[in-house]
Amino acid sequence: MGNTENASTPPSPAPAPSAGFSRRAVIDIGTNSVKLLVAEVCGRRVQPLLERSRQTRLGRGFYATHRLQPAAIADTARAVAGFAAQARAWGAAPTRVIATSAARDAVNQSELLDALRAASNLEVEVISGEQEADWSFRGVNSDSAIAGQPLLLVDVGGGSTEFILGEGDHQKFRHSFLIGTVRLMEQLPRSDPPTGPEWDQCRANVNDFLEHQVRPVIESELRTFPEHRVQLVGTGGTASSMARIELGLQTFERDRIEALRLTRGQVRRQRERLWSLPLADRKQIAGLQPERADVILTGVPIYEILMEKFDFLDLRVSTRGLRFAAVMDLDGE
C-alpha cells in the first residue's frame, strides 16, 4: 500500500479550522492509485493537513476491453471508504470525490460508481480530460514560487497525460493525451529485468506518440515564448518519485522535492538505472515506493523523451496539482 503523508491522526475531536479558513477534503481516483488531500483553504491559499495515497490500480487488465475488473473496483471502493473516514475524522466538510482516466473511459463506469456510493455514501464526479488539465495547472499555480511564470505543466498519470502551457492565470493550451504509465505498461510487456530490445520498443512508442500526437498541437504555442523561457514542470506520482529517487528521500518532504531541478542528464541516468534492474532490486531503491517499481519504467521515459524532443534542460517538480485546485473549487472560488 502506498502512503504519502505530512500529518498524523488528529486528536479527537479534530481541532477547529484556522481563523478565516475552511477545512475540506478531496479524494482522487486515478488509474493507478487513490489519493486523499485534507486541507485548510482560504481563497487560493491551500494548507495541506493530510495527504495519503493507496495504490489500487483501477486500470489493471483494462485496456484490452475498457472494462474495469471486479477486484480493482472492490479495492478502489475500500480505499475510498477508508479515506472518507479519515476526512471525517479531520472534520473536513465537504469531501469531494473525483475520478479520472480509467473511470471516464470505462464501458462499465456505472458498476464503479455504484460500488463507491455503497462503500462511502459519497457521489463521484467523473471529470473530463480538459477539466483534469485545468485543475492540474491551477493547483500548481497555487504555489507562489511558480505562480506567474511561463510554464509547460506535464502531469503523467496512469491512463492519461495532461499538457498545459500557460502563464499566471492564462492558459494558452491544455489537452489530455491518451498516454500513461499503466496504459503503456499493459501495451508493452517486459521481461524481468527488461531487455535492450524492450527498451527500444518503449522508446519508439513514446517518441512516436510525442512526435505525431503532441508536437503538432503544442509546438506552435511554445514558439510564442522566447527560447528557453518556458519552465518544464512535472506533477503527479512519476515526477515526485523521480525527485525522491534523486534526493534519496525515504519520506515525503515537499520543500526539498519542489526545490530540486532535475537535469536532462539526471533523468536519463535514472531511466538507464531503472531499466537495468529486476523488479526486486528496483523496490529497494531509496526514494521509490515499492508499489511504483513497475510503473516507473514507463513513466520516466515520457519525461526523458519530452525533454530531448523539445530541448528542455531541466525539470521542476511540483507536489501540487489536481487535488489542490479541486479543493479550492469546492465553493466555486
Residues of the chain short of pLDDT 50, as ranges, are 1-3, 5, 332-333
- Contact between 52 and 35 under an 8 Å Cβ cutoff? The reply is yes
Any idea what DSSP says for residue 312? -
* pLDDT at residue number 332: 45
* pLDDT of amino acid 1: 35
C-alpha cell recorded at residue 295? 510503473
Rounded Cα–Cα distance for residues 231 and 149 (Å):
8
pLDDT tens readout for residues 54-82: 999 999 999 999 999 999 999 999 999 99
Rounded CA-CA distance 60/74 in Å is 13
Rounded to two decimals, what is the model's pTM? 0.91
C-alpha cell at position 261: 531541478
> Where are the chain's structural domains?
22-127, 132-322
What are the residues facing 38 on neighbouring strands?
Answer: 25, 50
Asked whether the domain spanning 132-322 has the same topology as the one spanning 22-127, the reply is yes
Half-sphere exposure of 294 (CA within 13 A, CB side): 16
E strands present in the chain: 22-29, 33-42, 45-55, 95-99, 124-126, 150-156, 161-167, 170-177, 231-235, 261-263, 314-318
At the fourth CATH level, which superfamily is domain 22-127?
Answer: ATPase, nucleotide binding domain (3.30.420.40)
**Interatomic CA distance for residues 306 and 297, integer angstroms:** 15
List beta partners, residue 98.
28, 125
Query: For position 11, what pLDDT does the model report?
Result: 57
Give residue 88's pLDDT.
95
Report in angstroms the alpha-carbon separations of 215 from 220, 221, 222, 231, 328.
8, 10, 10, 17, 32
Give CATH for domain 132-322.
3.30.420.150
Look up residue 12 and give its amino acid: S
Which pLDDT score, from 0 to 100, does residue 19 have?
A: 79
Measured between alpha carbons, how far is 102 from 229 in angstroms, rounded to an integer? 34
pLDDT recorded at residue 8: 53
172 and 165 Cβ atoms separated by less than 8 Å:
yes
